[in-house]
């Protein structure tokens, strides 16, 4: 089984990504590291523990990471994910599972060192933890098998500013460092493809009436409402689950290698992922950019995993 570490800021879609990873039965999840992002580090950690309880997967270690971006202030997304990050869906669930001692940065370094060439990092949050890990242990870059990042957008518009996607916008210095680190395989699952991976009310209805199905319905209600207000369609984009989907089955997406950098010094464009489609900067490609997705196949994979 593919060994993975998930790095999350557990909001509504991170939670569905975790559930997909756990319930696929096809991944050896070494641990889940948490980071500030959609919600505070504390809230992201509690949410992750609750989701693992819901999935009956309490044995998976959860390790806390950075509580703020490298240089910038926090930028929560309560508007989209609700005050608690899970759309209020598990607000009454007692938290029995605790995070492990230690820091996410050390956890990532240690696990990759223990399994050289075998670990896939699935990053569905601002890239602060991985940037800190690279700074602390540069040799990590050569030991990681592959990195899959939900983040960025190269052919369309942003979802925080006109040009920036949330995970990159929140910690652009971290993203820049990760993109330029020299990983053998770094795949960018950006808004170009995640916006095509839409979970609809019909998908949710098809999940039945299990506790899990009820959770999915409740947690996505507000998230869908926001999407509806902006796009006039009752659906929500499965950003983070698609990154997990790509780790499970690369054939879901079409990718092309390009040089990608991140803007960090612009009033209007900070956090923009600039993709050098015509190689005007004469740099070596550093990122496999997802340009298309087989959305139906992915949504089948996701709904199958969420059905009892």
Residue 159 contact, options Ca ion, ligand BDR, none, Cβ 5-8 Å cut-off depending on partner type:
ligand BDR
- Scanning 165-173, 213-221, 276-284, 298-306 for contacts with ligand BDR by CB under 6 A, the matching segment is 165-173
How many positions of this chain bind ligand BDR (CB under 6 A)?
A: 15
Rounded CA separation 224/46 (Å) = 23
Residue 166 contact, options ligand BDR, Ca ion, none, Cβ 5-8 Å cut-off depending on partner type:
ligand BDR
- Residue 72 binds to ligand BDR (criterion: CB under 6 A): no
Site track 33-52 with ligand BDR (rule: CB under 6 A), x = hit: -----x--------------
DSSP character string of 90-110: TTT------PPSS-HHHHHHH
Site for ligand BDR (CB under 6 A): which residue of 165, 171, 261, 270? Answer: 165
- Scanning 3-11, 126-134, 224-232, 261-269 for contacts with Ca ion by CB under 5 A, the matching segment is 3-11
DSSP character string of 156-219: S--SSSSS--HHHHHSHHHHHHHHTS--S-EEEE-HHHHTT-EEEHHHHHTT-SSHHHHHHHHH
Task: Report, in Å, the least distance between residue 167 CB and ligand BDR.
Answer: 5
Q: 10 Å Cβ neighbour count for 88? A: 15
Is 239 part of the annotated catalytic residue set? yes
Chain positions 239 to 278 lying near Ca ion, rule: CB under 5 A, are 240
Strands 146-150 and 198-200, how do they pair? unpaired
- Scanning 12-20, 181-189, 270-278, 280-288 for contacts with Ca ion by CB under 5 A, the matching segment is 12-20
Instruction: Report the catalytic residues.
Output: 239
Residues near Ca ion (CB under 5 A) are 9, 14, 124-125, 240
């Amino acid at each position: 089984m593919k060994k993975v570490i998930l790095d999350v800021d557990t909001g509504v879609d991170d939670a569905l990504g975790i559930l997909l990873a756990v319930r696929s039965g096809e991944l050896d999840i070494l641990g889940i590291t948490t980071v500030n992002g959609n919600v505070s580090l504390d809230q992201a950690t509690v949410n992750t523990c609750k989701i693992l309880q819901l999935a009956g997967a309490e044995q998976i270690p959860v390790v806390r990471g950075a509580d703020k971006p490298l240089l910038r202030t926090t930028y929560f997304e309560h508007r989209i994910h609700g005050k608690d990050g899970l759309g209020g869906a598990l607000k009454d669930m007692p938290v029995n599972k605790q995070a492990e001692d230690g820091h996410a940065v050390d956890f990532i370094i240690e696990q990759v060192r223990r399994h050289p060439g075998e670990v896939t990092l699935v990053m569905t949050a601002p890239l602060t933890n991985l940037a800190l890990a690279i700074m602390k242990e540069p040799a990590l870059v050569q030991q990681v098998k592959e990195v899959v990042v939900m983040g960025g957008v190269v052919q369309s518009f942003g979802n925080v500013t006109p040009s920036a996607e949330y995970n990159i916008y929140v910690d652009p210095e971290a993203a820049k460092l990760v993109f330029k680190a020299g990983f053998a395989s770094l795949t960018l699952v950006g808004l170009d493809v995640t916006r095509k991976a839409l979970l609809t009310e019909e998908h949710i209805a098809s999940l039945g009436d299990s506790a899990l199905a009820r959770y999915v319905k409740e947690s996505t209600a507000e998230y869908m409402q926001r999407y509806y207000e902006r796009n006039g369609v009752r659906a929500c984009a499965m950003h983070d689950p698609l990154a997990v989907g790509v780790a499970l089955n690369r054939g879901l997406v079409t990718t092309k290698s390009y040089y990608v950098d991140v803007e960090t010094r612009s009033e209007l464009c900070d956090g923009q992922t600039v993709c050098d489609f015509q190689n005007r900067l004469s740099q070596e490609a550093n990122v496999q950019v997802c340009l298309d997705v087989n959305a139906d196949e992915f949504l089948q994979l996701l709904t199958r995993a969420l059905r009892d």
